[in-house]
Amino acid sequence: MQRRWLKYLSLGLATVGWVGLGYFTYNNPPTGWSRWIAVAALWPTVLFTLLPGVHWLHLRFGEPEGALSRSLRQCALAALYVCICFWLRMVRALNWANALLLVLLFVLTDVLLASRTTD
């Protein structure tokens, strides 16, 4: 039962987020505050878009105990990665080296957080 409400809530919030983000970016020019608002709206949108799939993968291939907290942590880190890459692309500072270093940083963060919670 827990997976069902999580799936529906996540898909609903992701839909609202993508529609709201599309409406906002269509109706506002890409100036100072509009960029910050778009980045701020992108984080929960990506988080709730990824959450059902990541949660399913943890339930299918991992231990069911603590799957929701692991899924939330990994989706939050992935959404933060997407937002940082989005911002770097807007200021024309994103390149392959930056993207790769960010991926390595977030993977290392997740590994260290996972090893700390398993003690």
The pLDDT tens digits for 60-91 are 888 878 888 889 999 999 999 999 999 999 98
The CA-atom distances, in angstroms, between 108 and each of 68, 79, 102, 115 are 20, 16, 10, 11
Give residue 52's identity as a one-letter amino acid code. Answer: P
The pLDDT, as a whole number, for residue 2 is: 63
Rg (CA), the chain: 16
For the chain, give every domain's residue range: 2-117
The pLDDT, as a whole number, for residue 105 is: 95
Place of tokens 């269509």: 26
Give the pLDDT confidence of 44-55 residue by residue, as tens digits.
999 999 999 999
Once rounded to an integer, what is the mean pLDDT over residues 13-37? 92
Smallest Cα–Cα separation from 101: which of 81, 87, 78, 116?
Answer: 81
Q: Is 0.85 topped by the overall pTM?
A: yes
118 in helix, strand or coil?
Answer: coil
